[in-house]
Amino acid sequence: MSAAITEPLAATGLDPAVREKLLKVGSANVANVLLKRGFRNVMMLGVAPLSADQPQLVGPAYTLRFIPAREDLDSMANYGRGDNKHRRAIEECPAGSVLVIDAGGSLAASSMGDMMAARLKYRGVSGVVTDGGYRDAAAIRGTGLPCYQVRNAPPATPIALHPVALDEPVGCAGVAVYPGDVIVGDSDGVVVIPWHLATEVADEALDAVEYEEFAARHIANGRSIFGLFPATPQSRAEYDEWVAAGRPEVES
């Protein structure tokens, strides 16, 4: 692999067909597909959806990196300046992208509040992920924007966090995120797909989801998971026939 991948990349648009597929798969399905390619560390551990019924999150990553605050630099006055990168992230994260915030795991101050979430929603940003937490969580839920965090962190951002850089490689909840990597979030949590693998991973994950639908019907009819899940060559052949036959009712 070329070393160029370690350099920040402009967030690229996500192929609508790939997005469509990723909207239908689970984060755990994606993680399984990546594991087959040797990627073992792709799920952000400890990061949970803000709302139980928020929509699936899919989009390329646009990153914001925080470091700890310092009292002279992170006054409320400085926070209001026009070049503050926290607010620049809100205005500059591309529509369709996911804002991924590296808060260094800090739960001592807010990674985002409801005004920012409302603005992101309006601008068409897909959602937000932080390894810290938010303030005004109830109002953020009200926006409908799918957001992920560790737990609520209501204190004002400048108390503990300084926004230092936009759209560069970061770590978030123990996972590397390069700009443009594809983020998928569901009720289980958030998975990161290296951007150059997004298309093939989407295909393979969707295939796994469809096979699981087949397996689920058999399980509902009383079949053992041995020889069925995980799939075997025989069960795959059986699945292919079933698909070819138009996915008929499974009989017990």
Residues in contact with a copy of itself, shown as a per-residue x/- string from 182 to 221 under the rule CB under 8 A: ----xxxx-x--x-----------------x--xx--xx-
Site for a copy of itself in 48-87 (CB under 8 A): 48, 66-73, 76, 78-83, 87
Site for a copy of itself in 95-124 (CB under 8 A): 104-108, 110, 113-116, 118-119, 122
Burial class (CB in 10 A: 0-12, 13-18, 19+), 131: buried
Residue 179 interacts with a copy of itself (CB under 8 A)? Answer: no
Strand partners, 175: 172
Work out how close the CB of 144 gets to a copy of itself at its nearest, in angstroms, rounded to a whole number.
12
E-strand ranges in 30-160 read: 43-44, 48-49, 57-68, 98-102, 127-130, 147-149
Q: Give the angle 88-89-90 at the CA atoms, nearest 5°.
A: 90
Residue 13 interacts with a copy of itself (CB under 8 A)? Answer: no
By CB under 8 A, the count of residues binding a copy of itself is 92
Nearer to a copy of itself, 16 or 171 (CB): 171
Residue 5 interacts with a copy of itself (CB under 8 A)? Answer: yes
Burial 151-161 (b: 16+ CB within 10 A, else e): eebeeebbebb
Work out how close the CB of 217 gets to a copy of itself at its nearest, in angstroms, rounded to a whole number.
10
What is the secondary structure of 58-93 as a DSSP string? EEEEEEEEEEE--TTTS-HHHHTSTT-HHHHHHHHS
What is the secondary structure of 203-227 as a DSSP string? HHHHHHHHHHHHHHHHHHTT--STT
Residue 41 interacts with a copy of itself (CB under 8 A)? Answer: yes
Residue 14 interacts with a copy of itself (CB under 8 A)? Answer: no
Site for a copy of itself in 217-246 (CB under 8 A): 219-220, 222, 224-226, 229-230, 232
Residue 129 one-letter amino acid: V
Kindly tell me which residue out of 17, 20, 46, 237 binds a copy of itself, with binding defined by CB under 8 A: 46
Site for a copy of itself in 136-165 (CB under 8 A): 136-139, 151-156, 159, 162, 164-165
Roughly how many angstroms between the first and final C-alpha of the chain, as a whole number? 49
